[in-house]
Structure 1
Amino acid sequence: MAIYRQIQTLFWQDGFVAELTPEEKYFFFYLLTNSRTAQCGIFEINIRIMEAETGYNRETIEKLIKRFVEYGKILYCKETREIMILNWMKYNFINSKNTMCCMNKELKAVKNKEFVNKLYKICLDKGYDAAAIFEGIFLSTEEKTDPVDEDNINEENLSINRGLEGANKPLGEKEIKEEIYIQKESSSTEIVINNKVKHKSNSDKILEEYNKNIRQATINDIEKMSLWLKDFEEEVLIEAILAAVKYGAPHIGYLESIVKSWRSLGLFTMEKLKNYRDKSKKGSVNKRANEDAYKYLD
């Protein structure tokens, strides 16, 4: 257990962090700095302890854990009560004998062996001394899916290694849910609400960007975009999709977070969004703030 954790001051200007809600920022900062964090980035923590230390109730904590799993930033095992911060090593690894000995000791105590296998692959990819770090530790040679709490899996979740692959089967033209569905005419795709075409000119472009960058759109996804189109200009939603990709989180959960954030700021039009971004740039200490921010979340 470390006495302190180092966080760069530019952490708060990180593009991903900037788009999180205040609740998400607080919780993520807690995950990175709580007293149970380990040098290897895998630690066991009881939800009751998290309740006491954050002030959140159990329902809120479970919701936030699920959200960051969807963002692709952590793994969580409900059975062993362990959390793995996926990008921890990138910013906390020190190439020293003491560090590697410490990690070796911690890893031998990790209960979820899939987390250990995941970290082993990360160390190999980054060129760390895996032989020293994992000395005396049994590693499975079988390929396994990244562990995610099965109770929290739903059709909107993406596994960590899935990338841009669609989580659901491609939609057919006849698939319908209530009064919202995909309608194809000629070479264009339209969002239809109550038998009326909504934003016919650009809705096909929104779906094209979503399918290309997030995943193959499901009926639920179409429903959400249809609701967003009631308030936002099409170009703003396309910018939200591109922002999710830019900040390394091409997931529906993070896209929803961006839309929620922009809604709270009243950024419903491209003009307002551009003005907001211009003001943010002028108020920034330097133009590379987001690029150089402390990114646990690539």
Structure 2
Amino acid sequence: MAIYRQVHINYWQDGFVLDLTPEEKYFYIYIMTNSKTSQCGIYELPKRIIETETGYNRETIEKLITRFEDYKKVIYCKDTREIFIKNWIKHNKVVSPKVKKCIEKEIRNIKSKDLLDLFYKECNKYGYDIEKVDIDDRWQGADEVKDNDGGQDKKPEQSQDRKLEQSREGDDISSQVTDNNKEEHNEKLGKMSKLYEANVGLINGVVGEWLIEVSESFDVELFKKAIEIATDNGKCNRGYINGILNTWRSNKVSNYEEYKAYVVGLKKREASYGRDNSKSKYARELENEDETIYQKPSDEQIRAVRELCKGE
């Protein structure tokens, strides 16, 4: 789970939000950004925690939860004290392999089978291939079952091993996704975000997802270099920068040291090609980073993208 949640600036102008009371607006943004939120949109949220973090009393909290259930925005499971934010997966797309892996680990800790089933339905609806976890099978090792041969009650060794393995998986979630490695990744993502805002423009949801993908493939110094090249060519926009990064990716360049070696290689190839009056293709590649790949989208392409966004 990330240590921050992005809220789109259009939140306050959303048709649904405009009709909410101030109390409801605060509560709605709280359930999307509080300290317990998860990447999958289902997380345990005891009412006592809500009381502590919002300052609302228990009666107000129960009233607000009921309202948002009536609005069909959330589902709250009283038995497991878990909340499910409907359509969360629609607006927080699973496009990164690491995000997908994080979600698949999170859902192993979901206690409510009903909420998990709803989550899978939304994944199918929006075309996300998420590995399914059967809650009954997950806890099978804790129950006694009949031995088919002798009719004796016993705990199967296979189930116990499976339970132990899953327990270890739960312990390892933070080590790979949410602890030191994730802190380093978040720091890296933060630096890239600042570079983008300072040189390109504001970060919306689409750009945010793109920056996450970029941060998983390139280091900060190389990302800065891509911005510098785009700026020097007078085309400092996301599409042009992404084109530069794609060329580096295809040449297996992911950090600044590899980039320097890549430039040396281009210069050597250019030198071996010959020094006549016309520039070689290697020189053109070095100077322009394959200019043809990063053409500015046409008005027709921009209109097509806008129509696609409206359709969502």
With the shorter chain as reference, the TM-score category is 0.3 to 0.5
* The structure with more strand, counted as a fraction of residues: 1
TM-score by length of 1: 0.45
TM-score by length of 2: 0.43
